[in-house]
Amino acid sequence: MNATSSLVKLQDVDTQLLEISELLGDLPVKVEELTKEEQQLKEDINQRKDRMKEIDLEVSKKDLLVQDLTSKIDKLKDQLFLVKTNRQYDAISHEIDFRKEKLNNIETRELELVEEKDNLISETEERENNLESLTKDLHNRKTNLESLLTESSEKKNSLAAERSDIIKDLSAPVITKYDRVFAARDGVAVVETFGASCGGCGSIVPPQKIAELKQNKILQSCDVCSRFLYWPANNK
């Protein structure tokens, strides 16, 4: 098999491999993105639930403080009826005011914590709903991907083995050029000639090059698009 025939076969194999990749489309990337998004959402939900536990603990502690302060304030109020001097009365009143202010601050903080927890509950429920939808979507995409991979795996492996055999017949410079053109020309690096025109870009191929293509002895490329050219058997 000469170099031109090897290139034609290589193009055919790579076209089939490209079709397999296109069959999968962006599904592998989308599955990876959704997997990361699912993990981030789970972490976010867990963090919010952890914060709600912290709030419950903090509120419980503040409830105890409220009970303690309320009890002490009530006792101080009872003492007001027992004092005998204005100085004692003022001192106890000052202590009551101090503890009332402290109590008020604690109760205000408790309200803030309750409000924070309410918001967290609402946000967590929303995220859990989003997670449920995302997980279903991810499951369906994974199932589809696994099915496509299973279907294409055997064919892809066979083509990869065939490709390895083909490139053994080609020189390193030819393979390098082929790969470069393949990448630059949307996966088409080898084209036939139509009459005297390049099958890739439609440019006119010089007569001398046409004559050499017919002899099929040396590799020729289009002067415009750089694709490898070959003369098909049915071309007159």
Q: What is the pLDDT of residues 28-40, one digit of tens each?
A: 889 999 999 999 9
pLDDT at 34: 93
d(Cα 163, Cα 182) in Å, to the nearest integer? 14
CATH assignment, 24-167? 1.10.287.1490
Q: Which residue has the tokens 């503890």?
A: 99
pLDDT at 159: 94
- At residue 236 the predicted structure's pLDDT band, cuts being 50, 70 and 90, is low
Of all residues in the chain, the percent with pLDDT exceeding 90 is 80
Residue ranges of domains in the chain? 24-167, 172-230
Give yes or no for a contact between 2 and 216, defined as CB atoms under 8 angstroms apart.
yes
Specify the pTM: 0.61
pLDDT at 20: 87
- Over 80: is that where the pLDDT of 120 sits? yes
pLDDT at 235: 63
pLDDT at 74: 95
Region 76-95 average pLDDT: 93
d(Cα 99, Cα 97) in Å, to the nearest integer? 5
- Over 80: is that where the pLDDT of 140 sits? yes
For CA atoms 103, 109, 115, 120, the dihedral sign is negative
Q: What is the mean pLDDT of the chain?
A: 93
pLDDT at 126: 96
3-state percent helix, strand, coil for the chain, nearest multiple of 5: 75, 5, 20
16 closest CA partner among 155, 124, 166, 179: 155
pLDDT at 85: 92
Region 114-143 average pLDDT: 96
Region 181-189 average pLDDT: 96
pLDDT at 147: 87
Region 117-141 average pLDDT: 96
